[in-house]
Amino acid sequence: MFHPFDIIFWYGRFCLWRAGLRRLTTVVRGQTVGYWDGGAGQPILLIHGLGGSTLQDFGNMTAHLAKRHRVIALDLPGFGLSQDVKIRQSVSEQAAFLVEFLDAIGVSRTILFGNSMGGWIALKLAHRHCDRVARLILAAPAGIRFTPPPLDVFMPEDEAGTRRLLGYLFHKPPPLPGWFARDWLRVSRQRRHSVIEMLDSMVTGQDLMDDVAHEIRTPTLILWGAHDRLIPSETGHRFAALLPNARLKVFDRCGHLLLHEDFSSVARCLDAWLENDGKWVDTITRAGASSQAQPSKPPSITLNE
């Protein structure tokens, strides 16, 4: 039977293969884990968000980063291509699993790039294993207290629910034909158990970072969409205040999925920050800003490129 998402996933895998990434496997906790690995340079581990996958969350960004870095991309246990990998779903457990995964593939230190829930997992890993994390990139991360949307938003039951979720993810949601919405529901149902278990863990607050984020001194770049309805951009400003070595970039005309809504601007920002060892540089401030010595903790900036 024809499934639209299957075509998208196969095309995404072809793009990764064309960029030099290869599908490999390793064993963690006695379970076979598949992941993508390719490129050369300092490693970057990609960590996707709730209910997503590497292909869904990072899209073209994976191939872009592989031009200058070794990119390691796996689907978290219970999601995507790792649906059959079983762990107890929580932020702490996912972070612990990733440490064991890095051990299994022989990576002692890496940049972590987490999207949404993946950013929360990256923060938890950095807090517990700061020696393993060279830098942090966080795209609209969860992990501190904020007022979330109703939890049923994350578990659509019909086409209307899927469109409702899309409205929380995008500043300007793309058209969603009925046949595509129905297939999105099919894929979502495959991950529903893991999503519910993870949400149950999140709402307990046991893994929140509000009281410990100040202990994470890893150089951090925080990326946010100005029109994020899922996790409001004000949360990004609070993160920037909590993390002692963080810089916040807010992108105009973007919602929660800023990696998709303004890929080019985000890619330029990442390139500048990564190429300068995580230092603040004029090339990632607002276009036309004057060149001057940068303060130790410059203000947050909204990019209107």
Q: Is the pLDDT of residue 289 over 70?
A: no
**Residue of 101, 132, 276, 283 lying closest to 218 (CA atoms):** 132
Question: What pLDDT is attached to residue 193?
Answer: 82
What is the pLDDT averaged over residues 155-169? 91
Look up tokens 């501190």; give the residue: 144
The string of pLDDT tens digits covering residues 232-281 is: 999 999 999 999 999 999 999 999 999 999 999 999 999 999 988 666 55
- CA triple 135-49-95, angle to 5 deg: 55
Q: Is the pLDDT of residue 147 over 60?
A: yes
What is the pLDDT averaged over residues 118-135? 97
The string of pLDDT tens digits covering residues 184-207 is: 888 888 778 888 888 888 888 999
Question: What pLDDT is attached to residue 82?
Answer: 83
295 or 18, which is more confident? 18
Q: Is the pLDDT of residue 127 over 80?
A: yes
Report residue 283's pLDDT band, with 50, 70 and 90 as the boundaries: very low
The string of pLDDT tens digits covering residues 49-107 is: 988 888 888 989 999 999 999 999 998 888 877 877 888 889 999 999 999 999 999 99
Q: State the average pLDDT for the chain.
A: 87
Q: Is the pLDDT of residue 287 over 60?
A: no
pTM above 0.95, yes or no: no
What is the pLDDT averaged over residues 279-303? 38
Number of domains in the chain: 1
- For residue 262, the one-letter residue type is D
**Residue of 248, 122, 227, 252 lying closest to 169 (CA atoms):** 227
Question: What pLDDT is attached to residue 31?
Answer: 87
Percent of the chain with pLDDT over 90: 58
Range of the domain at 82: 4-286+294-303
Q: Which letter does DSSP use for residue 171 in this model?
A: S
Q: Is the pLDDT of residue 44 over 50?
A: yes
Question: What pLDDT is attached to residue 295?
Answer: 34
Task: Tell me whether strands 31-38 and 70-74 are parallel, antiparallel or unpaired.
Answer: antiparallel
CATH (domain of 256): 3.40.50.1820
Q: Is 18 exposed, middle or buried (0-12, 13-18, 19+ CB in 10 A)?
A: exposed
